[in-house]
Structure 1
Amino acid sequence: MVKFRNQQSMVKFSVQPYSAVVPPSKRIRLEQTTETPSSPVAMISGDHSSHDRQFTATFDPDILDCNICMEPLSPPIFQCTNGHIACTECCVKMHGICPSCSKPVGKIRCLAIEKLIESLQMSCKHAEYGCTKVVSFTKKKNHEISCPFAPFMCPVASCGFSNLVSTFPLHFQEVHQVRTQEFSYGGWFTVMLAPSDMNVLLKADDMLFLLHYEKSTLGNIVYVTLFGATLQEDQYSYHLEVKNGKKRLSMEGVPRSILGEDSKHVTDFLMIPLRTYGLGDGRVQLELSFHHSGEPLPESC
């Protein structure tokens, strides 16, 4: 649902996929009505009168994308003399030449589209999972990246489960036989890794982290990923450590989001030679600590 508002009238846009619009056209089709909605779609300032009007529009949301990079438009928006629209970044990349007609672009503002976009209020695409946020069109993309209601795909290979973060402890326990261990930021805690372990789910407050335990010929590899957006990665850091008498192996890292490419091509990990740091029965005693922005750094264990 998209909302458009000003002081004189109320406009409601219903966004549908391009394939649902018949005939397929980039034009906005407006249907004017004088009906008063049972529940307002927007708050209107000023005096209300019987002349308030509501418009319903069905349109392809792609018309609000840059014609060059196909990303959502945001002011300032430019057009060439033939009316082809481009965002600021593309005007620079194309050296001020419209790729559609070779006319100059980057000096003429498209104020009509700018005003339309600045007035649009849109529901989050994760509304079906419980998000009730209605944000401006220009902020919609950033909100959806960090939306707490964004679903995640299970990172276990060949598992197609997708749902909210809060459902994963039960999913990992019932489907993958992976336990969940709770901890607090700023302090050290112990995780015992058995030979059969491949993952341990770590939970602090409302955040989930996944401890990976992979076997290799040189030693077992340990690292941590984050159930969160890539924008949240730098808010967290972790410290891994294994000891055997005076011998010690440790690493510090940033948990990469399971949504990002870095989680598929791991370069930061701790390799543990079992002959030196194993407990003799195949188990490994791992010490961990997590730091969250604003929390004090933990002392060495």
Structure 2
Amino acid sequence: MEDNLYDELLVELECPICTNYMSPPIRQCATGHSVCDACRNKLPKCALCQGAFTECRNHSLEALAVKMRYPCINKVSGCNAKLSYTERETHELRCPLKGFKCAMEKCTWVGRLEELAAHWASKKMSSKPYHKSNVCHTKMKSESYYVNMVNAYDRLFWFKCKLTKNKLYWAVQYIGNAAEAEGFYYEIEIFKPGRTKKRVLLSDYCQSIELENSQLFGDDSCICINTDAVNGFVSSDQLLIYYLRVNAIKDEKSEQAHGQVTDVAYKTDHGARQRDRSKGPPNLAKKDYKKKYNQHHNSKQNKQKEGFVLL
């Protein structure tokens, strides 16, 4: 009986435009229709009666909203949590039964995180999911969009590339708790085969999966570059070749703490790390270093005696 009453009252708190539950502030139009604050800010007029919005608020509905316990948005996936309006946002970002959308355009699939990789495999994509370091190709075709899954550090990401209006965008979104997204960053390193010293390196933080493409592909939300800046790297068949790397910030800090070099300038083409030779020999104990030097020097002399010259 109590559950039925709650369900009936919750219907009264549904925004008539977006159907999400309304919470304070609840806005009104001149006719008296109540809408959520998000819809009020998006629309110039009331979608129900085309009346103008006012500065008035529905204080009676706001008082009801404060007292209600709301179901989690992932109720259809099995979450039975009952939440106050102040708890909803935090819980739904961390809900273990949260549904994630497929990043492929026109795909309506929504499922749990552990089901996402299998769904992506079922689409039989021509390119397999990326790992944390990849060589990628983008066809410089106007108004194009490409997406692939990335499996790195036992976590999943979406890699998205969009070419539109003479701008090229690259974005990586962390699939999981939005608060963990900035624990990762990604690099785009553009190069030209045969001229490996000619490169452009760009990097940015990974974004939350909560960000829609309309917000994601903005100059401040992902890597963006004018196509004119990369024309010198495009091949005769209109392909732009680059490395995509997804990195964990905590791994980088750990390497720095142990004295390992993390600067991209000291990486090989295969991602292996090299020592900064401008700083001289490794910081070994003098005795060990002398021992290794003598062994190398004696070995060199022996090879020379045998008719070999060590270069």
- TM value normalised by structure 2: 0.50
1:158 and 1:76 map into 2 onto residues whose CA distance is 34
How many angstroms does 1:74 deviate by? 5.7
How many angstroms does 1:62 deviate by? 4.7
Output aligned runs, 1:187-206, within 5 Å: 190-194=133-137, 198-205=146-153
Output aligned runs, 1:74-89, within 5 Å: none
How big is each residue's C-alpha offset from its partner over 1:250-288, in whole Å with a ceiling of 9 and x where there is no partner?
112233436424456454335684863769996835152
Letter paired with 2:2: K
1:75 and 1:214 map into 2 onto residues whose CA distance is 37
Letter paired with 1:192: V
Structure 2: 5+ residue stretches without partners: 27-32, 41-54, 140-144, 257-261, 268-311
Matched residue SS, 2:87 = helix
Residue 12 in structure 1 maps to residue 2 in structure 2 = yes
* Cα distance change of structure 1 residues 180 and 64 upon mapping to structure 2, 3 Å threshold: same
How big is each residue's C-alpha offset from its partner over 1:148-202, in whole Å with a ceiling of 9 and x where there is no partner?
433233222233333223323222233141422344xxxxxx3022568944321
Letter paired with 2:88: K
- Out of 170, 173, 179, which is 2:121 matched to? 173
Matched residue SS, 1:128 = helix
Conserved in 2, the CA contact under 8 Å of 1:165 and 1:227? no
Conserved in 1, the CA contact under 8 Å of 2:189 and 2:244? yes
1:122 and 1:295 map into 2 onto residues whose CA distance is 41
Letter paired with 2:205: V
1:291 and 1:273 map into 2 onto residues whose CA distance is 27
Counterpart for residue 212 of structure 2: 260
1:202 and 1:246 map into 2 onto residues whose CA distance is 27
Letter paired with 2:134: V
How many angstroms does 1:134 deviate by? 3.4
Residue 299 in structure 1 maps to residue 254 in structure 2 = no
Structure 1: 5+ residue stretches without partners: 1-10, 15-55, 78-83, 91-103, 184-189
2:96 and 2:212 map into 1 onto residues whose CA distance is 17
- Out of 106, 109, 129, which is 2:77 matched to? 129
Counterpart for residue 284 of structure 1: 241
Residue 224 in structure 1 maps to residue 183 in structure 2 = no
* Cα distance change of structure 1 residues 12 and 275 upon mapping to structure 2, 3 Å threshold: same
Counterpart for residue 97 of structure 1: none
Count matched residues: 224
Q: Which has the higher contact order (CA 8 A, sep 6+)?
A: 1
How many angstroms does 1:65 deviate by? 6.8
1:117 and 1:262 map into 2 onto residues whose CA distance is 30
Conserved in 1, the CA contact under 8 Å of 2:171 and 2:217? no
Output aligned runs, 1:52-91, within 5 Å: 56-64=5-13
- Out of 239, 250, 259, which is 2:187 matched to? 239
The root-mean-square deviation of aligned C-alpha atoms, in Å, is 5.3
Counterpart for residue 269 of structure 1: 224
Deviates more, 1:252-261 or 1:171-180: 252-261
* Cα distance change of structure 1 residues 293 and 216 upon mapping to structure 2, 3 Å threshold: same
Residue 212 in structure 1 maps to residue 164 in structure 2 = no
Conserved in 2, the CA contact under 8 Å of 1:202 and 1:208? yes
Conserved in 1, the CA contact under 8 Å of 2:186 and 2:203? yes
Higher helix share: 2
